[in-house]
Amino acid sequence: EVQLVESGGGLVQPGGSLRISCAASGSTFSNYWMSWVRQAPGKGLEWVANIKQDGSEKYYVDSVKGRFTISRDNAKNSLYLQMNSLRAEDTAVYYCALESFKHFDYWGQGTVVTVSS
Amino acid sequence: SYELTQPPSVSVSPGQTASITCSGDKLGDKYACWYQQKPGQSPVLVIYQDTKRPSGIPERFSGSNSGNTATLTISGTQTMDEADYYCQAWDSSTGVFGTGTKVTVL
């Protein structure tokens, strides 16, 4: 059974930066594409970014391009999201999710990011 | 950018059938999947590759996808099925979620 545990969320001022992490266990992390998905308060799910097994391909939703960077460390079974120039509209629960044939088999419990002054 | 549209809400009586649609341009040419999310919980995959059920998902959940519309059907709906449901597909290597549908069982 795969377990994904996010961490690093918190309160940050507009324009600030934050890095969130996702620790994976129970599976061969390096075999899978990984994604970040977010959910603003009371809103629906929004895919944010994903990264190929070896990190050679990365894709982003338009609203975060140039501000967010997804990365991974397969030796540490970890996924990261570096978020810069944060805006109020980035406030959300951020989930990491393991991709399998273009669907999300496993999700973490989420970490809350709040952008506010 | 690619969009997937769902009805905001669907109401169903216990034991009856609920159908949730997901509309997108040529969606039938892509794989669609569906997630269930209950309040305060992470999403759970209920249908993938249009019609397949993950292990542990009850048989009452089924899916189809053709033309511009994917459909999630819950047969013999139970009160435990009350939740938000999201469709999801991929377009040009980016993920897209539907707008979400709240299913109320009453």
Each residue's pLDDT tens digit, A62-78: 999 999 999 999 999 99
Contact B44 A107 (CB under 8 A): yes
Per-residue confidence (pLDDT) for residue A27, from 0 to 100: 78
CA A35 from centre of chain: 6
Nearest chain A residue to B100, by CA = A44
CA–CA separation, A103 and A105 (whole Å): 6
Name the residue facing B33 among A37, A46, A103 (closest C-beta).
A103
Residue A92 and residue A41 in contact, taking contact as beta carbons nearer than 8 Å = yes
Residue A5 and residue A96 in contact, taking contact as beta carbons nearer than 8 Å = no
Residue A39 tokens, joined:
């959910």
Per-residue confidence (pLDDT) for residue A28, from 0 to 100: 87
**Triad B13, B16, B22: Cα angle to 5°:** 95
Name the residue facing A50 among B54, B95, B99 (closest C-beta).
B95
Q: Going along B57-106, which residue ranges are E strands? A: 61-66, 69-74, 83-91, 94-97, 101-105
pLDDT of A32-64, one tens digit each? Answer: 999 999 999 999 999 999 999 999 999 999 999
- Give the residue from B9, B42, B84, B102 with the most A CB atoms within 10 Å of its CB, the best one to mutate: B42
Residue A71 and residue A60 in contact, taking contact as beta carbons nearer than 8 Å = no
Interface of A to B at Cβ within 8 Å reads 35, 37, 44-47, 50, 57, 59-62, 95, 101-105, 107-110
* Confidence check: pLDDT of A102 > 90: no
Task: State how far residue B14 is from chain A, nearest Cα, in angstroms.
Answer: 25
Contact A107 B54 (CB under 8 A): no
Q: Where are the alpha helices (DSSP H) in B1-106?
A: none
Exposed (0-12), middle (13-18) or buried (19+): which is A81, by Cβ within 10 Å?
Answer: buried
Q: Going along chain B, which residue ranges are E strands? A: 9-12, 18-23, 33-37, 44-47, 61-66, 69-74, 83-91, 94-97, 101-105
**pLDDT averaged over every residue in chain A:** 96
Contact B86 A44 (CB under 8 A): yes
pLDDT of B67-103, one tens digit each? Answer: 999 999 999 999 999 999 999 999 989 999 999 999 9
Please report residues of A whose CB lies closer than 8 A to that of B84: 44
pLDDT, average across residues B43-49: 98
Query: Containing H/E element for A86?
Result: none
